[in-house]
Chain A
Amino acid sequence: MNVINRGVRNAFRNSVRTLAITVIIGLSLGLALAMLVAHQAVGRKIDSVQADVGNTITISPAGFRGFTGTGNPLTTAQLAFINKLPQVTATEESLSDRLTSSDTNLKSGISLGRLGRRFLSNSGSFSGNSNFNFANFTPPIRVIGTTAPTDLANTTGGGTFKLVSGTVFSSGSDANVALVGSSIASKNNLKVGSTFTAYSSTITVQGIFSSGNTFSNNIIIFPLATEQRISNSPNELTGAIVYVSSASDVNSVTSLITKQLGSAADVTNSAQQNQNYISSLNGIQTVSLYSLIGAAIAAAIIILLAMIMIVRERRREIGVLKAIGATNLKVTTQFMVEAVTLTVLGGIVGVIIGVFAGSPITNTLVSSANSTSSSTIAGFGVRRRGGFFGGGGVIQRHGGFFSRNISNIHAVVGWDVLIYGIIAAVLIAIIASFAVSFIISKIRPAEVMRVE
């Protein structure tokens, strides 16, 4: 028999009480651990969202976006300063245009349709011309000159670049070559090596690509320098994507660029696009953190009250221990062992509860937050339904927001959670024991002389 042995045995002295304390501490520690699991899962999600799309800045001419809008293009000179910023790792520049039937011998891969007609009749050039013959009208073909030909998400507005045949030109190329979307290629019977006319230049098809969506399959991609030269728009740009080395620098670089370009450009960043999403995740994180702290404090208070109750109940026994020569330290140690035993038992129950409740609690927290953010998603969705000419938001990085379904957060219970649980239990018990050690030290051994 030693002090540890006695402490452990005392923990089981009253089986009903042991069970009650174990279950209550187990429940509160279990809740704390489930909240920790939720906190970690949401934290990982925030990190991945920020790492994924959090480091790009989109620059467009003021009033123009993608393939549509009005206003003046930007120039290479205007953006030259950006590459000198230390936080910037890379930039992708592009110039978009539409080839009408007078510019090219190619036919669009998709028909005009109702959307095309509506946007045509709404646009000023055709208004008042009630005799306009839609049947003879050839829809224009969207072209883009870019330094990042395979980055469809940033250039054409979406999809995954897949080379069907041929090769991809280098980003700095100035040759009269093009990558042709699969819809246009099949409509016009183009193969690798075929030629076509654009802006009265002869262009050779270097590759044919598919993107997985009709919009991007109906595009022709030129090297940026080629497009600038053949369209007679030297140094002009209609869009740029800036990559910043760290997500935390995005906002400062954005405001730097905004300040420099002034009213000439619209500067947006992916962090802004994801702000609602991140802030709802942050909300969940805060809730789970407070619940975690609250539940851990509840567990601490429970064991503290239980230990106070036990110490008061064993007042006489403590007096006897002192009377036969036990020091305050020895008595306190014995009760500390008892408290640790009770909370470790509770901790084991808590870990079991935490493992089973972690995932459902994470899902519940996330789905309740999801309903508040879904309206934002819908709002974005409307804007994306841009039609033939209205490629709203096209040059913005595609899909980041929409594909990121908030519910695909995975709650994972790691070993760290188990270890945290047991460490929390032991810490809580030790703190509670220090509190009761004060009561223990106040018990006078002379009290044992009293007869009940």
Chain B
Amino acid sequence: MLEVEGLTKTFPGGSQPVKAVDNVSLKVKDGQFVSIIGKSGSGKSTLLSLLGALDKPDSGSVKVDGQDISVLSQADLAKYRSRKIGFVFQSYNLIPNLNALENVMLAMELAKELSKPERKERARQLLNQVGVEGDRQQRKPGKLSGGEQQRVAIARAIANKPKLILADEPTGNLDSQTGKMIFDLLHNLAKSENTTILVVTHDLLIAGKTESTFKLVDGKLTKEN
């Protein structure tokens, strides 16, 4: 269960402060697949970074399984990001100097739950599962296509069996066909693993396929359906 209450984040803008996230409240049940739509600059990325504890809100609370993340220490925040959250970014954000397998293994190393051989075995399975197979697993991100990189990123995001996957325009850099495949991959995962997924998207077609959709306008969240 994800519970968000009165979440607000303000940035110091040029002439006046920008309320990037303005008093946002929402509840998402476990295993739900939710989309957030909104124009560029409406605060979608800011909202996701608050949910994923990448940034601190000015006010309001984020509760995951009843635990308020705003009271966590630095070390516990790192643990929260590592074990409870899986991120998928628009620009993939893989570590350039590590190959696909090592990128996935790194996420598990930081979670400190599996031994090295176990990590390697699981990373291999995950990559096979997302369709990055054979010698592609040994390639560095620079030698993979955008779609392949995003598959690796998804494998990394689900590696530690997180409660919540936060995907910020995961198909934004991909052509529509590849984008659809990536979306289906996320969708299937949500089904099979009972993982809650929040996906930010421009693509209304994609949004239409999710269980519920929210819309952000100037930092204010409204439920679409």
Query: Which A residues fall within an 8 A CB radius of B?
Result: 1-2, 6, 9-10, 13, 316-317, 320-328, 330, 444-446, 448-452
Contact = CB atoms under 8 A, between A and B. Distances in A.
Interface of B: 45-46, 48-49, 52, 54-55, 74-75, 78-79, 81-83, 87, 89-91, 93-98, 102, 105-107, 109-111, 156, 168-169, 172
A446 B111 contact: no
A320 B45 CA distance: 15
17 contacts: A1-B102, A1-B106, A9-B97, A316-B93, A323-B54, A323-B81, A324-B87, A325-B78, A326-B82, A328-B74, A330-B110, A444-B54, A445-B49, A445-B55, A448-B54, A449-B49, A451-B172
Leading 5 A-B pairs by shortest Cβ distance: A325-B82, A446-B55, A325-B110, A446-B49, A446-B54
B97 A327 contact: no
A451 B106 contact: no
A449 B110 contact: no
Given A325-B78, A326-B110, A445 B96 contact: no
Nearest to A1: B102
A445 B82 contact: no
A323 B48 CA distance: 12
Interface of A is mostly: helix
Contacts of A13: 97
A9 B95 CA distance: 13
B54 A325 contact: no
A449 B168 contact: yes
Contacts of A325: 78-79, 81-83, 107, 110-111
Residue with the greatest number of chain A CB neighbours at <10 A, chosen from B75, B78, B79: B78
A267 to B, nearest CB: 73
A451 B169 CA distance: 10
Contacts of A330: 110
A318 B181 CA distance: 29
Contact of B107 (A324, A449, A450): A324
Contacts of B105: 1
A6 B91 contact: no
Contacts of A327: 74-75, 78
Contact of B91 (A2, A317, A446, A451): A451
A173 to B, nearest CB: 87
A334 to B, nearest CB: 11
A445 B54 contact: yes
A324 B81 contact: yes
A427 to B, nearest CB: 26
A338 to B, nearest CB: 11
A207 to B, nearest CB: 85
A235 to B, nearest CB: 88
Given A323-B54, A324-B110, 8 more contacts: A2-B109, A317-B95, A322-B81, A324-B82, A446-B49, A446-B54, A449-B48, A449-B54
A444 B55 contact: yes
B82 A6 contact: no
Nearest to A449: B45
B55 A320 contact: no
B102 A317 contact: no
A316 B111 CA distance: 20
Given A1-B102, A1-B109, A449-B45, A326 B78 contact: yes
Nearest to A321: B95
A321 B95 CA distance: 8
Contacts of B83: 325
A324 B156 CA distance: 9
Contacts of A317: 95-96
A168 B78 CA distance: 89
